[in-house]
Amino acid sequence: MILLRHSQSLHHLFCHHLRSNYRFSCFVVVRFARKMSVSVKYTKLFYNNEWHEAKSGKTFETVNPADGTKLADICEADKADVDVAVELAKKAFQIGSAWRSIDASKKGMLLLKLADLFERDIEYMAELETADCGKLFQDSKDDIKFTAGVIRYYAGWCDKICGQNIPCDGDYFAVTKKQPVGVCAAITPWNYPIAMFTLKLAPILACGNVFIGKPAEQTPLTALYIAALCKEAGFPPGVVAILPGYGPTAGAALANNMDVNKITFTGSTEVGKLIMKASGDSNLKRVTLELGGKSPNIIFSDYDNLEYAASVAQEAAMTNMGQCCCAGTRTFVQEGIYDKFVEISKMLAETRTVGSPMNDDSQHGPQIDSEQKGKILDLIESGKKEGAKVVFGGKSMDQSGFWVEPTVFADVEDGMRIAKEEIFGPVQSIFKFKTLDEVVKRANDTQYGLGGAVFTKDIDKAYTVASSIDAGTVWINCYNAGEANTPFGGFKMSGIGREYGEESLNNYLETKTVILKVPQKIN
């Protein structure tokens, strides 16, 4: 999920594209190495408000994707550590515990304090985030600012979560209470490490649950730093645990644990299915999933600002180096403006500034790891073989670290692999269409349904398309806008449930109906 800033800053970006030249030099990398001497403060597992070695004694490396160098050795959690952390979390959730009996308003104050700490440490946290995941430094800062707002939004909910008062016949009286689900585990990805982690942490705590987070193995550093901030903010022991480790070990142990009441996951559709299955095989823990996408972005020929539409469309595909669940990877362009649109898209890609993620003017940094880089290059090759036209890019970049050129394909056909599979890399595919009916059918011809967009000046057309696209979010004349209060999530195989906004609270609450017999005797 990305943020309003992308749409707000597009005019700036477009002007920037026009000014700058495509460049990538060793000089940039050298500067990068000097600037990225970030010190890593926390490398151990966090539970019960203390730092612990892994029971197995094992550690794993986390590396900087911009140059492939090691940042730290991190203690590696697996089932034994998960079991201990879950026991302590259960204890923190017991009736009568400090957390279970905390005033709703006090809970809100703790979250507000946490948001303040995010802002206090924004520079350091952004450096850590950029070093660990290769995200542009300015984007890391924007993510942290946005995330502080998300925490404050859920802090505000703490004393506003209410049930209903239901009229009953006779002497009965019913109320519903909204109660926390209990032990909530969050398994998060590497593409927006701070934002995805906190998007789960904040509503889980606001609803009065206890939290166990497993960050992606590629990006454990900022989650561990958030653990320290939670302790500093004053959350009682056992309420927050952070267990870095691998998916099939630590992640699967959480998904299969009989005392974890809820699991909220963001990542691949493949692993989302495993998590649903683990829930069914264990204790039917509640499951929220935010998975992949292949989002369509439809540009009609009546749209009056082609440069703007093309710029937004390219950002939609390439923001965060394309590592974005709602990336607008299928750009559908109406036939009358198709050639001109492709020409502008080529110019935009050519002038995209590639360089160190720490440089203020960089628009394009590295991919997360060699596995993802390999997957992206394989799909790019398939596009070439299947006959799509490479308008720009299409190759690996010969640098240490994991770099792929910003890539634009035109004349893409619906049956090609690049039209169907989630690439999760900096690849824009441009398709030609003739009519509204045709493009809506083609846009929906996918197993995914996370996002979509339409560019037109015709309100009837805009609303018809927005109503017809099977996706959790549809943007009109913009892309990637969204705030703490706008629900986000997927139709079809893009997921189950919604995050952000009031809807996210439902993921972490149970409804309890209390029925009283109260004979009314008034003499």
Residue numbers at the binding site for ligand NAI (CB under 6 A): 187-189, 191, 214, 216-217, 246-248, 251-252, 255, 266-268, 271, 274-275, 290-292, 325, 372, 375, 422, 424
| Spatial CA neighbour of 492 closest among 450, 462, 429 | 450
Whether 371 sits among the annotated catalytic residues: the reply is no
Between 24 and 190, name the residue whose CB sits nearer to ligand NAI.
190
Between 3 and 117, name the residue whose CB sits nearer to ligand NAI.
3
CA dist., res. 28 & res. 362, Å (int): 10
The set of residues, in sequence order, having a beta carbon less than 8 Å from that of 521 and lying 6+ positions away, is none
Question: What is the closest distance, in whole angstroms, from the C-beta atom of residue 257 to ligand NAI in the complex?
Answer: 11
CB 45 within 8 A of CB 51: yes
CA dist., res. 508 & res. 184, Å (int): 8
Residue at shortest CB range from ligand NAI: 247
Between 66 and 255, name the residue whose CB sits nearer to ligand NAI.
255
Neighbours of 281 (CB within 10 A): 10
Whether 315 sits among the annotated catalytic residues: the reply is no
CA dist., res. 216 & res. 266, Å (int): 10
CA dist., res. 335 & res. 391, Å (int): 17
Beta bridge partners of 512: 177
Phi, psi of 16 (to 5 degrees): -60, -45
CA dist., res. 150 & res. 156, Å (int): 10
CB 450 within 8 A of CB 493: no
Between 205 and 325, name the residue whose CB sits nearer to ligand NAI.
325
Looking at residue 486, its amino acid is T
State the catalytic residue, choosing from 325, 326, 405, 499.
325
HEC readout, 121-154: CHHHHHHHHHHHHCCCHHHHHHHHHHHHHHHHHH
Question: What is the closest distance, in whole angstroms, from the C-beta atom of residue 35 to ligand NAI in the complex?
Answer: 27
Question: What is the closest distance, in whole angstroms, from the C-beta atom of residue 331 to ligand NAI in the complex?
Answer: 18
State the catalytic residue, choosing from 217, 290, 422, 499.
290
Question: What is the closest distance, in whole angstroms, from the C-beta atom of residue 480 to ligand NAI in the complex?
Answer: 13
Between 115 and 201, name the residue whose CB sits nearer to ligand NAI.
201
Question: What is the closest distance, in whole angstroms, from the C-beta atom of residue 442 to ligand NAI in the complex?
Answer: 21
Question: What is the closest distance, in whole angstroms, from the C-beta atom of residue 319 to ligand NAI in the complex?
Answer: 12
Per DSSP bridges, beta strands 495-496 and 286-290 are: antiparallel
Residue 433, both tokens: 């269409």
Between 142 and 217, name the residue whose CB sits nearer to ligand NAI.
217
CB 363 within 8 A of CB 356: no
Active-site positions read 290, 325
